[in-house]
Amino acid sequence: MKIGFLVGDIANISGGSNVILEYASRLQDLGHEVVLVTPGPVTLTYPLWHPRLADIPRRSLAEAEGESFDFALATWWITFYDLWRVNARVYGYLNQSLESRFHAERHYKLLNRQTYSLPLLFVTEAKWLVEFIQTLQPEGKTLYVQNGLSREHFPCVQAPPRRDGKLRVLVEGPWGVGFKGVPETFEVLELAAEQGVQFETGWLASSSGGEKPTVGGQPVQVHERIPINQVHQVYGQYDVLLKLSRVEGMFGPPLEMFSQGGTAITYTVTGTDEYMVHGQNSLLVEPYNRRQIVQFLQLLSTQPAYLAHLRTNALATAKAFTDWDSSTRQVASGLEALHAEGWTNAHLRPALAAMSTMHGHWLDDVWRGERGHSSLHPYVGPGEQVLLERYRQFKKSRPVRALQKLVSDDFKKSVRARLTRVLS
C-alpha cells in the first residue's frame, strides 16, 4: 500500500511528530510505500532529532499532487485542509488530540472543529478521542490503537535505580506553550520549597526559551534539546516527573518516565486513563486540587517506601505496555483490511476542496481584519469601536508622541500595568 502522511513541522522534535515517524518508519519496514508530504521543501538539521527521519521519502504538497495514494492521512489539524490536494482512495486523519484546545483564538477553534465534519477514516490513540470522534462524527470509521512505548529509545530498566539523598523531581515541557503548564509547575515547586519540602529539580525541555528557573533559590538543572534516543538517560536521573499540562492526547511522557523506574504526578488530564492509576503507579490531581501536590511531594520526600511502591508499579506498567511494533501491526492490519475490501471515501475529495477554499477565504478575511482596525474582541460593539479608534488616533497624534519620547520605557510599563490592573 502507498500511504501518505501530511505533516506540518517534521524537522523539529515534538511528541506528535515522534508518533508520526514511528508509524511511518515501521510501516515502511513492513513493506509499505510511505511518503511524508510536507507543506514545502524541508531542510533537515543534523544531528537528526529522530534517527529514522532521513530514511522516509519526503515530498512537498506541490510534488505530491501528481501522485496517487491508497491512504492519505492528515496529522496536525491544519493539514486536514490540504488533504484534497492529493489523490487518494481513502482520506484519513491520524488524530492525536483535540487541537482546538491548543488555540486561544475563536476562529482557529471553529476551523478545527470542521476537521471532524466529514466521515473520514480516523486513526487515534486515546479512548477519550475515540469517544469524542464517534459522538461527533458517527458516520466516520474509527481505528483506535494505543501508541507504543519505544523499546529502542526507552528501554525499560531492570529495577528502579536505588538512590539516596533528596527527592529528585523532573519537570518536562517547553516554557512558552500555555497549556503545557511549565511556569505553573515551577510555581508549585516554589510553594513546596517554601513549605520546607526537601527536593532537587531538573527541567527537560525541547526549548527553554532562554528561561533559567530557580526553585527555593537554587538553580534548576536544564536538559535542553536532548535527542530522543538520549532522553531516557535524563529520566533515569529522577524519581518523579511533575507534569501539569492541561491538554494531552495519550500522554506519553509519564510512561517514558515509568520505563526508567520513576513515577509521576500529573493533573487528571485527558489521556491519563490510558495507563495511570492514582496511588498505584502515579499520583493524579484534579486541577482545582493543585495544593495537594505539595502534600504529595512532602509525602514522597519523607516516605521512601511509598515512593518505592509507586516506582515499582510504574516500571511494571511500562514493561507490560505495548511497543511500537505491535501498534504498527495493528494499524497496518486495519489499513490492509480496508484496502482488501476495496473501501474508499474518494468521493469526499470535492467536499474537502470546498472546505479548504472556505477555510482559506475566511482566514484571509480574519487576518486582513486583524491587520486593519478591528483586532477587537468579537463582542465590542460599533460604538466602542468608534471610541477605540478615536483613542488610537489620539495616541498617534504628534503632541502625544512627543510626550511619549520624554517618558522612560520603565515608567510607561509601570503606568500601563497599573491601568490594566485598575481597569480589568
Of positions 10, 20, 24, 143, contacts other proteins by CB under 8 A: 143
**Size of the residue set binding other proteins (CB under 8 A):** 76
Q: Which residues pair with 98 in a beta bridge?
A: none
List the 58-60 sheet strands across, edge first: 58-60, 33-38, 2-6, 68-74, 87-95, 121-124, 141-144
CA diameter of the chain: 76
What is the dihedral sign for C-alpha 136, 137, 142, 147? negative
Of positions 96, 146, 301, 345, contacts other proteins by CB under 8 A: 146
Of positions 163, 168, 246, 349, contacts other proteins by CB under 8 A: 246
421 makes contact with other proteins (CB under 8 A): no
Least distance between other proteins and beta carbon 418 (Å): 22
Least distance between other proteins and beta carbon 175 (Å): 19
Least distance between other proteins and beta carbon 106 (Å): 6
Find all residues with CB under 8 Å of 256, minimum gap 6, and list them: 149, 154, 231, 232, 235
Whichever of 87 and 312 has its CB closer to other proteins, that residue is 312
Of positions 39, 51, 236, 334, contacts other proteins by CB under 8 A: 334
Least distance between other proteins and beta carbon 410 (Å): 29
Least distance between other proteins and beta carbon 94 (Å): 13
34 makes contact with other proteins (CB under 8 A): no
Of positions 37, 215, 335, 352, contacts other proteins by CB under 8 A: 335
Find all residues with CB under 8 Å of 240, minimum gap 6, and list them: 167, 168, 169, 170, 262, 263, 264, 265, 297, 300, 307
Q: How many Cα neighbours within 13 Å face the side chain of 381? A: 1
How many whole angstroms separate alpha carbon 339 and alpha carbon 156?
36
Binding mask 92-111 for other proteins (x = CB under 8 A): ------x-xx----x--xx-
Q: What torsion do the CA atoms of 182, 188, 190, 194 make, to the nearest 10 degrees?
A: 180
251 makes contact with other proteins (CB under 8 A): no
- Which residues between 109 and 138 bind other proteins (CB under 8 A)? 109-110, 113-114, 116-117, 121, 127-128, 130-132, 134-136, 138
154 makes contact with other proteins (CB under 8 A): no
301 makes contact with other proteins (CB under 8 A): no
183 makes contact with other proteins (CB under 8 A): no
376 makes contact with other proteins (CB under 8 A): no
Can you list the alpha helix ranges (DSSP code H) found in 321-408?
324-340, 349-371, 382-396, 398-406
How many whole angstroms separate alpha carbon 287 and alpha carbon 246?
8
Binding mask 260-289 for other proteins (x = CB under 8 A): -------xxxx-xxxxxxxxxx--x-xxxx
7 makes contact with other proteins (CB under 8 A): no
Burial 225-250 (b: 16+ CB within 10 A, else e): ebebeebbebbebbbbbbbbbebbbb
Give me the residue label for grid cell 467536499: 351
Helices (runs of H) and strands (runs of E) counted in the chain: 14, 15
How many whole angstroms separate alpha carbon 278 and alpha carbon 21?
31
Three-class DSSP category at 266? strand
Three-class DSSP category at 265? strand
Binding mask 43-82 for other proteins (x = CB under 8 A): ----------------------------------------
Whichever of 75 and 328 has its CB closer to other proteins, that residue is 328
331 makes contact with other proteins (CB under 8 A): yes
Whichever of 53 and 123 has its CB closer to other proteins, that residue is 123
